[in-house]
Chain A
């Protein structure tokens, strides 16, 4: 099974946000979409999440004609840059939301939902904070709540839109390591948007470098560093190349 994206196009007015994007990655991949702002990475993610409509193109995933599914039936766990937690609900209610809104016949019992919420709180290391409101949490904690909320619906894929963008450098690094560990445990296909080269190279099994609505190169981090396919990729990764070699990101995989 693969995530197969074929000839996706999207225009906003006269601006081509995505211009014929096609690629395949195997199921369970941690895919990082890397590029400068305006390169189309977030648009692609939002199309996968059903928050934006592609003008043209096709996505096959999990044996489904993905883009024909309405957003609410895709079970794509979406995590937003600014968390988008429901401010007026407790952490527990936030996490339970995806289960609470299911039609009565598919909704788990109240006890079952409570059990799942506790499990997820433990998974994101926020045990005992279920009764808090989002405003009472730190940025890093909020983003972990957002992740738990996305995981509660047993997502078919996980979509992360610069999830650490609003956090300070130290928390960002901690969460990065933790997220990668979580991905390896759950085995979900994960698409991760970032403009931070180091983050993309450290996290992704595959990194897709995007520019002006096109994929410049899709490769494993080591290959990107060793064999940049275009001048843009070479230039875009210039700053991190010595670092990547020194810390030997490549050897981590």
Chain B
């Protein structure tokens, strides 16, 4: 019995080939390296890996990474939502310029953005002398690391929300206001429920990047072991010391954090699939 192909259907060979290429690519460039990281980390057993992670300098790096992400991500969630709100719901002069500006961290090399902070806040920088006089440390300290992280991860939430909020228009907000809702009540009861999935997705991406950021943080941190090294910086330092086992142990932990983030996202998408679909149809 012969089977007819639909006019829009590709030749089976094409499908197989494309699928194979896609899978091969993902396997070679995404999965294989990840597997390799975990293999190296656990090469000398789980015990050895845990010992490496429990080193005080490693623990300090983990703590610093989590603190920086814990400050940067909520701030960027608020900034991102505010920027997206302004861009999507209001018309004002310089709007397209603002949109371009939001993308700036994506287009500028992280190293350059790190250098900007050193130039502004560093000892030889514009504000350096004043800051030194008042004993405020920004560069080579936590504030600098947080600032660099915020800069690099700023676009994630805003980028996620702008198209979503633009698409949703202002109708529901206008309805809420005409029904007597205050600005805050409108945001909390109408806008936020409509954007919560996009917001959550943006926050997860932002978090993954905030924990993994290397370039910008590397420039402003000063690489002081146990003090200003985040996990990515610490991994590099261990690696350069030929301490491969420890480097891979911390790298595996960092990768694990990212994987947990992704798993969380998938879980939420699966758990709330109905609601997600409902909020997308009008």
Contact = CB atoms under 8 A, between A and B. Distances in A.
A74 B178 CA distance: 8
Interface stretch (B5-13, B44-52, B186-194): B186-194
A80 interface: yes
B180 A135 contact: no
Contacts of A210: none
A102 to B, nearest CB: 7
A80 B170 CA distance: 11
Contacts of B279: 87-88
B181 A84 contact: no
A199 B171 CA distance: 24
A248 B206 CA distance: 66
A59 to B, nearest CB: 16
Contacts of B172: 84-87
Nearest to B193: A88
A100 B190 CA distance: 13
Interface in B163-203: 171-172, 174-182, 185, 189-190, 193-194
Interface in A71-97: 71-78, 80, 82, 84-88, 97
- Chain B residues touching A, majority SS: helix
A50 B181 contact: no
A95 to B, nearest CB: 10
Contacts of B282: 82, 87
B23 interface: no
B108 interface: no
Contacts of B185: 101
A190 to B, nearest CB: 15
A41 interface: no
Interface residues of B, number: 21
A77 B179 CA distance: 7
Contact residues on A (Cβ < 8 Å of other chain), bracket: 20 to 34
B277 to A, nearest CB: 9
Nearest to A102: B180
A100 B182 CA distance: 12
A72 B180 contact: yes
A78 B281 CA distance: 23
Interface centre among B175, B178, B194, by most chain A C-beta atoms within 10 angstroms, is: B178
B180 A84 contact: no
A101 B178 contact: no
Interface centre among B172, B179, B181, B190, by most chain A C-beta atoms within 10 angstroms, is: B179
Nearest to B179: A98
A163 B190 CA distance: 21
A2 to B, nearest CB: 22
Given A87-B194, A101-B189, A135-B278, A51 B179 contact: no
Contacts of B281: 135
A49 B194 CA distance: 24
A153 interface: yes
A149 interface: yes
Nearest to B174: A51
Given A86-B172, A88-B194, A50 B180 contact: no
B178 A50 contact: yes
A133 B278 CA distance: 9
Interface in B16-30: none
B189 A84 contact: no
Interface string A181-202: 0000000000000000000000
B177 A80 contact: no
Given A87-B279, A87-B282, A133-B278, A101 B180 contact: yes
A241 B178 CA distance: 37
A86 B178 contact: no
A159 to B, nearest CB: 8
A79 to B, nearest CB: 9
B224 to A, nearest CB: 48
Contact of A153 (B174, B180, B189): B180
13 contacts: A50-B177, A51-B174, A51-B177, A80-B171, A80-B174, A84-B172, A87-B278, A88-B279, A97-B176, A97-B181, A101-B181, A101-B189, A135-B281
Interface of B: 171-172, 174-182, 185, 189-190, 193-194, 275, 278-279, 281-282
Interface of A: 49-51, 71-78, 80, 82, 84-88, 97-98, 100-102, 133, 135, 146, 149-150, 152-153
